[in-house]
Amino acid sequence: MALDSHTSSAVCYFYPGPHVVVTNTYIETPDGLFHLHDLVFTSIAHHYAHPARTVAMFCAAVELALAAPLAVIFGSALMILAGLVAAAGMGGAVVRDGHRNPRLMELRALHRGVPTILFSSADKTEFEQVRRAVIRAVEAGRHPLP
């Protein structure tokens, strides 16, 4: 067995997934093999896949902003009720959009000074498993203080 083999007994697997492999010495992704000692972890980024949530919240705010002054001018409680119903409908759209279009999460690092996205996923469970595996791998590679 070769010393640099993935099946070496010195390698401890923290996450042997289908898209990414995290061990105590490296992270392997479809983009390449990254040794932990060459990485500086910078951030975790969350991106919204679709702007529908922002648009829905903006529309709900506009609905309420228009309903309140018109209700005061015309003295109608029904206008306030109509504005609240419209805002609730927009809120429902926000909740539905959150379930249908999860945000994209990225694990970013500097690899030899070059910004790199190590892993990205819209699946929160898988992303958190990989993130925790990377934390465990980094902690396993640290030398204990005397």
Torsion sign (Cα): 25, 28, 31, 33: positive
Residues of the domain holding 76: 52-100
**Residues 25 and 141: beta-carbon distance below 8 Å:** yes
Are 19 and 31 contained in the same domain?
A: yes
Are 56 and 90 contained in the same domain?
A: yes
Are 25 and 58 contained in the same domain?
A: no
Q: In 10 A of CB 71, how many CB atoms? A: 17
Are 60 and 96 contained in the same domain?
A: yes
Q: What is the mean pLDDT of the chain?
A: 80
Q: Please give the C-alpha separations between residue 18 and each of 6, 48, 60, 101, 109, in angstroms, as whole numbers.
A: 15, 24, 41, 23, 21
Residue 1 vs residue 111, higher pLDDT: 111
Are 86 and 68 contained in the same domain?
A: yes
Domain-located, residue 111: yes
**Residues 34 and 23: beta-carbon distance below 8 Å:** no
Query: Is 103 in a helix, a strand, or coil?
Result: coil
Domain-located, residue 21: yes
Are 87 and 120 contained in the same domain?
A: no
Are 40 and 57 contained in the same domain?
A: no
Nearest partner of 23 among 142, 145, 146, 140, judged by Cα: 140
Domain-located, residue 94: yes
Are 88 and 119 contained in the same domain?
A: no
User: What is the model's pLDDT at position 99?
Assistant: 66
- Looking at the structure of the chain, the number of domains it has is 2
Q: What CA–CA distance (Å, rounded) separates 74 from 91?
A: 26
What is the layout of strands, in order, in the sheet containing 39-47? 39-47, 104-111, 114-121
CA angle 80, 83, 87 (to 5 degrees): 140
Domain-located, residue 7: no
Domain-located, residue 146: no
Nearest partner of 23 among 136, 121, 116, judged by Cα: 136
Residue 1 predicted with pLDDT over 50:
no
> Following CA atoms 121, 42, 130, 11 in sequence, which dihedral angle do they give, to the nearest 10 degrees?
140
Least confident of 72-76, 92-96, 128-132, 140-144: 140-144
Domain-located, residue 134: yes
Residue 34 vs residue 79, higher pLDDT: 34
* pLDDT band (50, 70, 90) for residue 20: very high
pLDDT, mean of residues 117-144: 86
